[in-house]
Amino acid sequence: MKLWGGRFTKETNQLVHNFNASLSFDQKFYHQDIEGSIAHVKMLAKQGILTTEDRDAIIEGLEGIRRDLESGALTFTAEHEDIHSFVEAVLTERIGEAGKRLHTGRSRNDQVALDMKLYTRDEIDELDGLVKSLLEELLKLMEENLDTYMPGFTHLQKAQPITLAHHMGAYFEMFDRDRSRLSDIRKRMNYCPLGSGALAGTTYPLDREYTAELLGFDGPTLNSMDSVADRDYVIELLSALSTIAMHLSRFCEEIIIWNTNEYQFVEIDDSYSTGSSIMPQKKNPDIAELIRGKTGRVYGALVSILTTMKGIPLAYNKDMQEDKELTFDAIDTVKGCLALFTGMISSMTFKKDAMEASAKNGFTNATDAADYLVNHGVAFRDAHGIVGQLVLYCIEKGIALDDMSLEEFQAISPVFEEDIYDAISMQTCVKKRMTIGAPGQDAMKKVIEACRERLEK
């Protein structure tokens, strides 16, 4: 039964088998395992290491296994150690002698290195699609909300007026960088480890360039020890996933705040909310909270693999089997979070009036009042002090800067004229911020165009 039973005189202890086995989780990449084996036998036959009859029998057998796994006609059984043993055993059972030649010039060490890379690469492509959908949703919100005013915050205190387009644009940049991180990782990892053998290559005249090409790699890896021992790309991916999770989590935190009764900037759709078993009035942002909460397990996966890898001498060691469950979990978690998050924000209602009203109180135009004085020849530090006095006066009277009469303005500084009202109106405050990257509509329009281009590239 065991691939390696030859030199053993005793059966494996059952607990040892269970502890050692990985089939329960590496079955997730049966498709990639079979794809890799097909490429391997094509190469073996091309090099005259395998006859074309054996090649055809093996390929047919492997494709049959894949079909039967997909249809459910064939199921995984726990007596097999891992996906590699399982496929080879079923193949040999089905096609006989030829099946035993499949593993010529290959080790499970380069095989698992390949499978994990193929699986990860496919998942990166899926993740990229999900981040792209989110970016499209954000861009739509940006285009629709150039004039939707809201307060921008620092220290969670109202700071200056911005627009919803600008706020969404900040997240667009973050997720766009996430996308570029995924594409960097894909580029860097895209070299084929197959043909590295256990650690020192093989004595067969393999054509590694050919296998690499068949599997869509940019070329073969260049050191056989590194090939079987490298999990850098897993670490990089988990790091990129952690960053995506962190961005989603920050965004969720804002949505949770905005969705409170105190803010009422947004209302999460009923279809993305949950209720309370005891409090009939409740409508809770559970999905946003869960996405925020799941960030922990994604970080956990990163720290876990970093810790596993730090003490491993070259080349392959079984420790590396630990890369799989946590990577699969992190990928599935982030994919789920991305899909749900995009659904949540595309169905969410932005309460524009509440946002605008909030931007109007809280002195978000105080900087602009100071800038007004500067434009009339007052030194900025003095202007800052004068507007500080205005704010203090307004707080005492319970009014906004815009509500002060011109006499009240002039009592504090004679520099103020009638045009102060226009200078500190929210429309002006936003419109005048027109440096690239700022919320002013002219600046935002240019940025939106650039975002659209990046997205369509």
Q: Which stretch binds ligand ARG (CB under 6 A): 46-54, 71-79, 105-113, 142-150?
A: 105-113
Q: CA 101, 102, 107 angle in degrees (round to 5)?
A: 110
For residues 271, 276, 277, 281, the Cα torsion angle rounded to the nearest 10 degrees is -100
| Contact window for ligand ARG (CB under 6 A) among 108-116, 238-246, 357-365, 424-432 | 108-116
Render the burial of 54-92: b for 16+ CB within 10 Å, e for the rest.
bbebbbebbebbbeebeeeebeeeeebbbbbbbbbbbbb
- Contact mark string toward ligand ARG, 281..320, x via CB under 6 A: -----------------------------------x-x-x
Query: 332, 440, 364, 302: which is closest to 153 by C-alpha?
Result: 364
Report the distance separating Cα 400 and Cα 59, nearest Å. 77
Q: Which residues from 321-350 bind ligand ARG, rule CB under 6 A? A: 321
Q: Among residues 327 and 364, whose Cβ is nearest to ligand ARG?
A: 327
In the complex, the smallest distance separating the C-beta of residue 320 from ligand ARG, rounded to whole angstroms, is 5
Sequence-ordered list of residues with C-beta below 8 angstroms from that of 235, at least 6 positions apart, any chain? 302, 305, 306, 309
Q: For residue 364, how many other CB atoms are within 10 A of its CB?
A: 25
Q: Which is nearer to ligand ARG, 21 or 58 (CB)?
A: 21
Query: Among residues 82, 110, 178, 230, which is the contact residue for ligand ARG, using CB under 6 A?
Result: 82
> Catalytic residue among 24, 166, 227, 276, which?
276
Residue type, 369: A
Question: Which of 69, 94, 185 is CA-nearest to residue 131?
Answer: 185
How many residues in the shown chain lie near ligand ARG by CB under 6 A?
10
Q: Which is closer to ligand ARG, CB of 234 or CB of 255?
A: 234
Candidate list 155, 271, 277, 405, residue with the active-site label: 155
Residues 24-53 that bind ligand ARG (CB under 6 A): 26
Integer Cα distance of 83 and 245 in angstroms: 30
In the residue annotation, 276 being an active-site residue is answered as yes
Helix (H, G, I), strand (E, B) or coil at 299: helix
Nearest distance in Å: CB 83, ligand ARG: 8
CA distance 141 to 167: 10
The residues in 129-168 that bind ligand ARG, with binding defined as CB under 6 A, are none
Residue 53: Cβ within 10 Å count: 10
Q: Which is nearer to ligand ARG, 106 or 181 (CB)?
A: 106
Nearer CB in complex with ligand ARG: 11/417: 11
Q: In this complex, which beta carbon is closest to ligand ARG, that of residue 54 or of residue 82?
A: 82
Q: How far is the CB of 86 from ligand ARG (least distance, A)?
A: 11
Closest CA to 391 of 376, 415, 369: 369
Query: Quick check: 22 binds ligand ARG (CB under 6 A)?
Result: yes
Active site residue 84: no
Min dist. Cβ of residue 150 to ligand ARG (A): 50
Q: Which is nearer to ligand ARG, 108 or 292 (CB)?
A: 108
Evaluated on CA atoms 234, 78, 13, 110, the torsion sign reads negative
Work out the angle at residue 337's Cα, subtended by the Cα atoms of residues 145 and 273, and round it to the nearest 5 degrees: 70
- If the CB atoms of residues 214 and 228 are measured against ligand ARG, the closer one turns out to be 228
Dihedral of CA 78/82/85/89: which sign?
Answer: positive
The three-state secondary structure class of 158 is strand
Q: Which residues bind ligand ARG (CB under 6 A)?
A: 22, 26, 82, 108-109, 112, 316, 318, 320-321
Residues with a known catalytic role: 155, 276
